[in-house]
Homo-oligomer: A and B are copies of this chain.
Amino acid sequence: MLGNTFGRLFQVTTCGESYGWRATEKEATYGGALLTIVNGVPPGLRLDVKKIQYELDKRRPGQSKLDSPRKETDRVEVVSGWLEGVTTGAPVGLLVRNVDTQDVHIDQYRQVKDVVRPGHAEVNFFYKYGEYGDWCGAGRASGRETVGRVAGGAVAKQILAREGVEVLAHVVESHGRKGRSIAEGTMTFEEMKANYRKNELNCCDPQAAEGMIADLLKVRQDGDTAGGTIEIVARGVPAGLGEPVFDKLKATIAHGLCSIGAMTALEFGSGFKAAGMLGSQWNDPPFVENGRVRFRTNRCGGFLGGMSNGEDLVLRMAVKPTPTISKPQDTVDMTTLKAKKLEAITRRDITICPRIYPVAEAMVAIAILDALYMARAWYGLARLDPKWEKLTQPRHKGDYTV
């Protein structure tokens, strides 16, 4: 298995899976750990463990009636890269133990280990790892893998905060029910922040949230699951981030978001609406404000030529329904290659939305920070008139309306 690192200059490398197995020379037992190594952390940052824990708590299971009842504490331990609370420039190591590893659940997985869940990555794990693939809670194809993403993203967010950048996501659609959204101009960033994490779905439109949650409880009763849409906003991103050809910021953010298991679609700004528009309707008119170039509208979602333009980055990402459902499904036993009925048994989320938004925030944060490193490398060498770099700084917080 390759591809366990994300980023070029700011890099997050992860390992660890759903249940895991730990062993020293003397003992061996279930309950391994998820490790995250964060490269490219600058020195002199007072790293706040509470803030890393806060991000991990966002995605922790078992917090509401919408989530899987699995109980993980997800306590993070910072084990390297700092001294007396301040980063040294060395890579930061993060350790999270798996604790909910009771035999009863492991036995459940063992019983159906050869029967693939429809809609799930498991079939591919057979192709790639044969009979050796991790059958225990989906191994590295489990949502538990995202602990490392969120841990790494939590470090990125603390560095970005020094640069005035913040990244937030919320739920704007659940099972077809839509809430107000920034991309559609029906919500401001301030409203989003004011209602952030105020309900168990993290839909920042309280009215819509109520209907969505009621609907989801009905879905659960039916033994089913539901899809939804996440909106992600990044404020304070300097203009000019991203490289012009293959590594546009759009491309590296898309790489990060499309690597999240359950995603099925991605829009930048007005997204698919652009397919119905004219150039005279789509182009965001630039103007000068306080000596900086701004745009009167944000149909491009903050990207020009795939690079940030100094306005808010606005993205939407569709998420498929959790594949594991309680209803009987037709499937296949991979060892016998015979048809098989599957009645799901394992614990699961009714909707992935409230657990995936922190993962989306993390991936976007890492991609932005990585692009910021590249931009700083470039400015260091390019020796341009410093006015150009100054012009890239985004507007002051709070002065923005869509």
Contact = CB atoms under 8 A, between A and B. Distances in A.
A381 B2 CA distance: 12
A91 B1 contact: yes
B306 A261 contact: yes
A284 B49 contact: no
A123 B6 CA distance: 28
A393 B400 CA distance: 43
A37 B11 CA distance: 13
Interface in A223-243: 224-229, 239-240, 242-243
Contacts of A130: 43-44, 382, 384-385, 388
B35 A226 contact: no
A382 B175 contact: no
A contact face: mostly helix, strand, loop, or mixed: mixed
Contacts of A263: 250
Nearest to A385: B130
A338 B288 contact: yes
B380 A89 contact: no
Interface in A35-55: 35, 37-44, 49-50, 53
B283 A119 contact: yes
Contacts of A376: 376-377, 379-381
A307 B139 contact: no
A245 interface: yes
Interface string A256-294: 111101011111111110111111111111111001010
A392 interface: yes
B16 A13 contact: no
Interface string A161-177: 01000000000011110
Given A15-B38, A17-B90, 7 more contacts: A1-B89, A3-B244, A32-B93, A250-B259, A253-B258, A293-B332, A377-B377
